[in-house]
């Protein structure tokens, strides 16, 4: 777990990635990937943050072939949401992916 990262910003980043890059069958109101995180938030914040970080690491891993222009566009969209940018997430989660 990365204690210096803001959970709310991480969650906004994850929500964006899910909305734009998750397979459609995962992105339905009943099975939306954010729902389990929200259940964990109230009970166990540390567990919720660990799950969120693991999910973000998976998405970040899937963006390694994105061109610079696409990453820049995603970064702008995430900045508008006051979320961590993909560039930032790549710096922090690419190295951690194997540890999560």
Q: In this model, does residue 78 exceed pLDDT 90?
A: yes
* pLDDT at res. 100: 42
What's the domain range around 25?
Answer: 7-99
* Total of domains in the chain: 1
Give pLDDT, residue 17: 87
* Mean pLDDT, residues 60-89: 95
Q: Dihedral sign, CA of 59, 61, 66, 72? A: positive
pLDDT, residue 98, reads 47
Percent of the chain with pLDDT over 90: 34
* Rounded Cα gap, residues 10 and 85, in angstroms: 9
Per-residue pLDDT of 31-74, as tens digits, reads: 555 655 555 555 555 667 788 888 899 889 999 999 999 999 99
Helices (H), the chain: 7-21, 34-43, 45-61, 68-80, 86-93
Cβ-based burial of 46 (10 A; exposed 0-12, middle 13-18, buried ≥19)? exposed
Q: How far apart are CA 20 and CA 32, in angstroms?
A: 13
Rounded to the nearest 10°, the torsion over CA 60, 63, 68, 73 is -80
> Is residue 22, in this structure, part of any structural domain at all?
yes
pTM of the model: 0.66
| 89, part of any domain | yes
Q: How far apart are CA 74 and CA 95, in angstroms?
A: 20
Lowest pLDDT segment from 4-13, 16-25, 38-47, 61-70: 38-47
């Amino acid at each position: 777990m990365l204690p210096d990262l803001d959970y709310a910003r991480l969650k906004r980043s994850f929500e964006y990635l899910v909305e734009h890059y998750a397979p459609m069958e995962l992105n339905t109101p009943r099975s939306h990937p954010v729902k389990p995180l929200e259940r964990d938030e109230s009970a166990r914040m540390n567990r919720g943050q660990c799950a969120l970080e693991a999910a973000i690491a998976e998405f970040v891993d899937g963006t390694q072939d994105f061109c610079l222009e696409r990453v820049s566009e995603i970064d702008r969209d995430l900045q508008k949401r006051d979320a961590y940018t993909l560039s930032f997430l790549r710096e922090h989660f690419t190295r951690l992916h194997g540890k999560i």
